[in-house]
Amino acid sequence: MREDGGVTQLHDLTSRGFASDNYSGIHPEVLQALAGANGAHQVAYGEDVYTARLQEVFVRHLGEGIETFPVFNGTGANVIGLQSMLPRWGAVICTSTAHIHTDECGAPERVGGFKLLPVATPDGKLTPELIDQEAWGWGDEHRAQPLVVSISQTTELGTAYTVDEVKAIADHAHAHGMTLHMDGARISNAAATLGVPLRAFTSDAGVDVLSFGGTKNGMMLGECVVVLNPEAANGLPYLRKLNMQLSSKMRFISAQFIALLESDLWLRNATHANAMAARLRGALEDGLADASIQGISFTQATQSNAVFAVLPRGVADRLRKSFRFYDWNPATQEVRWMCGYDTTEDDIDAFVAVLKRELAAR
């Protein structure tokens, strides 16, 4: 700590990477909102004026009759949101690549207490036909009962459900007596790529409960469980506390969401992140066309802020000496590159230049 009480800068301010949109700092407008919400006293545990305003802000985006529950993180939002939709014997149909299945360390099943029924998909998206692979066995006491379908928007493979695709899934689920949950960790990126309001593919399309993400789009921390259909969820105030997701100083989570959603910051950030991913994909495809890049291929459509590609063996490890990113499937040499609200054109150009150099050096 410095003599003036400040914290010594410990990280390199020039360091850039493509590993995750969680790597970015806090957007300046969000930091300003946090400072504005600071000082004096506000009632704890959500009885503050910022959390009350947040409810109004979400109503403007998603419609009347909804209810919001700010939480600390996305895993917490998914676990308690799904818990509120299920009895103890309930099960959730999801994709095999869903975050709740692959990246939450078993929390949905171990903490949430419900069974996941994963379905393999080529692009991270469920369809009514794929859902039917696990939508059976109602009344069979030997089988966990499929009562919820969970989709991610955007998906873990960077793809986006269209409005019609979400509505088809919702209608199919409801026709079978199931409800629909949406993991919206990157929901803003989906709205940006679809060019529609948030409610178009959530409340208006038949989604019952939504995990609304903020951390990947410029916030310091915080997600929000949004109940779009009150008949589909029960006990959320108690489940939030039971699962250690009730913030005493909730005004600071709510103030961040207000900063994002009361203006167009949520859309500006997501649109920029998507554009940077498109620039990265475009630069690499241009290189393929003029033979400056050899041996690279793409595995998914780039519909948000993620690019999935397969690299020749050894290239990823050399490239990571300059830019951090993650392997998606080491067995096939598939990698994932993520862009964020603070990714710049210079970042993309520098990354492409190093990648071209490493490919040429094979």
Instruction: Render each residue's pLDDT in the chain as its tens digit; 362 residues.
Output: 566 667 788 888 888 899 999 999 999 999 999 999 999 999 999 999 999 999 999 999 999 999 999 999 999 999 999 999 999 999 999 999 999 999 999 999 999 999 999 999 999 999 999 999 999 999 999 999 999 999 999 999 999 999 999 999 999 999 999 999 999 999 999 999 999 999 999 999 999 999 999 999 999 999 999 999 999 999 999 999 999 999 999 999 999 999 999 999 999 999 999 999 999 999 999 887 777 778 899 999 999 999 999 999 999 999 999 999 999 999 999 999 999 999 999 999 999 999 999 998 86
Helix ranges (DSSP H) in 103-249: 107-110, 128-131, 163-175, 187-194, 236-242
CA distances from 171 to 128, 132, 138, 180 (A): 9, 13, 18, 9
Nearest to 97 by CA among 347, 362, 334: 334
Q: How many residues does the chain have?
A: 362
pLDDT for res 3: 66
Pairing verdict, β 306-310 and 67-71: unpaired
pLDDT for res 289: 79
pLDDT for res 249: 97
pLDDT for res 361: 82
The CATH architecture annotation of domain 28-263 reads 3-Layer(aba) Sandwich (3.40)
pLDDT for res 2: 64
CB within 8 A of 171, min separation 6: which ones? 206
What stretch(es) of the chain map to CATH 3.90.1150.10?
266-360
Retrieve residue 83's tokens. Answer: 């818990």
pLDDT for res 13: 85
pLDDT for res 294: 80
CA distances from 231 to 23, 60, 69, 86, 178 (A): 37, 21, 16, 12, 12
What stretch(es) of the chain map to CATH 3.40.640.10?
28-263
Looking up tokens 């862009």 gives 339
Domain 266-360 has CATH 3.90.1150.10: yes
pLDDT for res 284: 94
Nearest to 292 by CA among 350, 359, 348: 359
pLDDT for res 9: 86
Retrieve residue 91's tokens. Answer: 């099960």
